Structure 1
Amino acid sequence: MTTTGLDGFALLDETWRTVTPDAARRMLIAAAHAFAGKGYHATTTRDIASLAGMSPAAVYIHYRSKEELLFNISLVGHETSLALLSSITGEEPVERLKNAVAAFAGWHAEFHTTARVVQYELGALSAEHHAEVAELRRQIEARMRSFIEDGVEAGVFDVPDVKGATLAVLSLCIDVARWYHPDGKRTPDEIGALYADLVLRMVRPS
């Protein structure tokens, strides 16, 4: 795929590597970049097609509407996040929470273009699509909450409001996508390590 001049193309392509055929994947990559740069409502299907190096009519061969493109981006992005948190390992609660926060914050930095769309354009989804994505978000929240709960049960975390703490941790990680720039001073791994340390300081007994 050499017809697009998207910044961070390799990372975007990695996010959508399971999407086939090639033209459908190119459309998603272009849409993610366009939505992140201009916002969903300011982006036209012509903008997306131009970034993908295809004709405007080609969009509708693979997607019924601009909203369906957004839904597919949201779906894959949330599924990727859930799979990431579900793969976290560690012998004890402190290690598992540390690994979870590092991975989640790091993902929002490394794939900031996609993450920005996934996290900040939910309001443009149809009611049906929003409900499907909302269920994935509940599962993501439950997974992160389980890491904190494990630490509370083991007596290594002091968290009076586990649900509130979970939302704070998720919000902290998600916000990385809003401000992160690849030319900044910290790499995604460094941001992940920093945020993991901050979260552990939040939940450990004072």
Structure 2
Amino acid sequence: MTTVTARERLIHAAVEAFAEKGFAATTTRDIASRAGMSPAAVYVHHDSKESLLFTVSLDGHRAALGVINRAAASSADPVERLRTMVYDFSLWHADNSRVGRIVQYEYHALTPEHRAEVATLRRSIERTMQDALADGVDQGVLDVTDIPGTAFSLLSLGVDLVRWFEPGGSRSGDELAALHAELAVRMTAVRPKPA
């Protein structure tokens, strides 16, 4: 049996409150109530509501970076690597759409120092995708003239899911991730020359 710590209860409550009401409209009292704690208990673990948002954002970005890095190491074949990276990144955003929505759309509410730390993780995610595309170009199997722009666009397929995806909708996260992966390959793979 897994015991949930007070800190984990607070983070989960913050995610629920921020997802439902938005960061600006959420109070520490809302978060404490959802966590089954007193408002004062929030400050034992976090010094502010923004600190909770930063924790959610940092955890979410670290998880997404882990997903993209593991996918990047999954295959030596650049096309299969790209397919896996886009699939896994999109699926993570579908499976974690509430957290993703918060970390993407409440970014502006972070302090400048916290935004800078999160931005470093975002750049690492982009660099992983850029490196995979550059390797595919070097091997002659991907045709990409604008590596930074293409990397950003491919990652946006997954990131944009958080804006509108809801579990139980007309398409599953798996179906959308598979579609994104196929689109990524079709957009970047070298086409065989007609005979």
Please report the TM-score for the alignment, with normalisation by the length of structure 2: 0.92
1:65 corresponds to 2:48: yes
Matched, 1:148 2:150: no
Tell me the C-alpha RMSD between the 2 structures.
1.7
8 A Cα contact 2:140 2:190, kept in partner: no
- Candidates 149, 165, 168, aligned match of 2:153: 168
Could you list the runs of 4 or more consecutive aligned residues of structure 1 that deviate by over 6 angstroms after TM superposition?
Answer: none
Q: Which residue of 1 aligns with 2:79?
A: 94
Distance 1:205 1:37 in 2: 44
CA distance in 1, matches of 2:173, 2:129: 19
Q: Post-superposition shift, 1:98?
A: 0.4
Instruction: Quote the Cα distance in structure 2 between the aligned partners of 1:183 and 1:159.
Output: 35
The equivalent of 2:7 in structure 1 is: 24
Q: Partner letter of residue 139 of structure 1?
A: S
How does 1:1-206 map onto structure 2 within 5 Å?
A: 22-88=5-71, 89-206=74-191
CA gap 1:64/1:21 in 2 versus in 1, 3 angstroms: farther
Count of equivalent residues: 189
Query: In the TM superposition, what is the alpha-carbon distance from 1:80 to its structure 2 partner?
Result: 0.7
1:62 maps to a residue whose letter is H
The unaligned stretches of length 5 or more in structure 1 are 2-16
CA distance in 1, matches of 2:34, 2:125: 31
1:32-80 per-position Cα deviation (integer Å, ceiling 9, x unaligned) = 1111221111111111111112111111110000000000011111111
State how far apart, in whole Å, the 2-side matches of 1:140 and 1:30 are: 27
- 1:89-115 deviation line (CA, Å, top 9, x unaligned): 013000000000000000000011111
Give me the whole-angstrom Cα distance separating, in 2, the residues matched to 1:152 and 1:38: 44
Cα distance between partner residues in 2 of 1:104 and 1:155: 24
The percent of aligned pairs where both chains have the same amino acid is 51
* Cα shift at 1:185: 2.1
Separation in 1 of the partners of 2:82 and 2:16? 31
Following the alignment from structure 2 to structure 1, what is the Cα–Cα distance between the partners of residues 92 and 136? 23
Structure (1 or 2) with the larger CA radius of gyration = 2
Moved more, 82-91 or 67-76: 82-91
Return the alpha-carbon distance in structure 2 between the equivalents of residues 47 and 108 of structure 1: 25
